[in-house]
Amino acid sequence: MNQKITIAINREYGSGGRTIGVMLAKDLGIHYYEKEITKIAAEESGISEGLFNQASEEFKGRPLFAPAGIYDGKVLSPNDKDFTSPKNLFALQAHTIQRLSESQPCVIVGKAGGYVLKGRSNVVRVFVHAPRPYLLEQANLRVSLPPKDLEKYVDKENKRRADYNYYYTGEKWDDAHHYDLCLDSSKLGFEKCVQLIKTYMQVRFDGIEL
C-alpha cells in the first residue's frame, strides 16, 4: 500500500471483526495491532502489562451511568500519583495507537482506536456487527458453554466493550455516526467484508495502490 492508511475496527463479540482485521492486514501486507498495543504501551511506559489488562477487564458487568474518564489527549508523567490510573493507562495506549498510525499503514482492532484517531484524514473507521443468532453461532465455535451460559457470556462481553468505549470516549459504541462503514458480517461473510473495506478505500483515497 502506497499511503499510510489506518483501518480502525470496532466489533461485536462473535461478529468476526477480529478475523476480518487479520485477513485485511494480510491481504494488504500491512501490520495488524490488537493485543500488541497493550504490550507496546507497557514496554514504553514501564508499567506492568497486567495492569493494562486489569483495567480493561474491570469493565465486565460494571454499571455505568455517565462517562467519567473521557480521553483528553493528556499523558501523565511517571512522577504523577495517577500515573497508573485507568484513565492514564488508556491515554498511554492512545498515544501508542497515534504513533503507530502516523508511522505506517496498519489495521487496529479495538482499544477505541476509531475515537483516538478521530478527525484524521488517513483513518477508516469500521464497525462490524451481526444479528444475535449469528453472534451466538460464531461464539459457540470459540467457547464451549451450554446455550444459556453462552448467551450470558456474549452479552457480558459486548456490554464490557460498550461500557469501556462509553467511559473513555462519551460515545455510544454501536452508533453508526461514529463510523465510515458499518458491516453486517452475517450477510457478507468475512471475505466480502474485506473486499468492501478495500473498495471503500479505493473510492475514498483516489490513487491508492492496494
Instruction: Tell me the per-residue pLDDT of 128-154, one tens digit each, with 9 for 90 and over.
Output: 999 999 999 999 998 889 999 999 999
Q: Is residue 135 part of a domain?
A: yes
65 pLDDT exceeds 60? no
In a domain, 15, yes or no: yes
Has residue 52 been placed in a domain? Answer: yes
Cα radius of gyration (the chain): 17
Residue 209 has pLDDT above 90, yes or no: no
In tens, the pLDDT along 148-205 reads 999 999 999 999 899 889 889 999 999 999 999 999 999 999 999 999 999 999 999 9
Q: What is the CATH number of the domain that holds 153?
A: 3.40.50.300
pLDDT above 60 (res 62): no
Confidence grade of residue 55 (pLDDT, cut at 50, 70, 90): confident
pLDDT band at 11 (very low <50, low <70, confident <90, very high): very high
Confidence band (pLDDT; 50, 70, 90) for 64? Answer: low
17-28 and 185-204 helices, crossing angle to 10°: 40
Task: Determine, yes or no, domain membership for 134.
Answer: yes
129: region left, alpha or beta (phi > 0 left; psi from -120 to 50 alpha): beta
Q: What pLDDT shows up at residue 67?
A: 66
- The Cα 129–Cα 135 span in angstroms is 8
Amino acid 53: pLDDT: 85
In a domain, 209, yes or no: no
**Does residue 1 sit within a domain?**
no
Percent above pLDDT 90 for the chain: 74
Residue range of the domain that includes 157: 6-204
CA atoms within 13 A on the CB side of 35: 5
For residue 47, pLDDT beyond 70:
yes
The pLDDT value recorded for residue 185 is 97
Q: What is the mean pLDDT of residues 20-38?
A: 96
**With contact defined as beta carbons under 8 Å apart, do 15 and 185 qualify?**
yes
Q: What total number of domains does the chain contain?
A: 1
Give first-to-last CA distance, the chain, whole Å. Answer: 5
In a domain, 130, yes or no: yes
Per-residue model confidence (pLDDT) at position 183: 98
pLDDT band at 68 (very low <50, low <70, confident <90, very high): low
What confidence score (pLDDT) does residue 69 get? 73
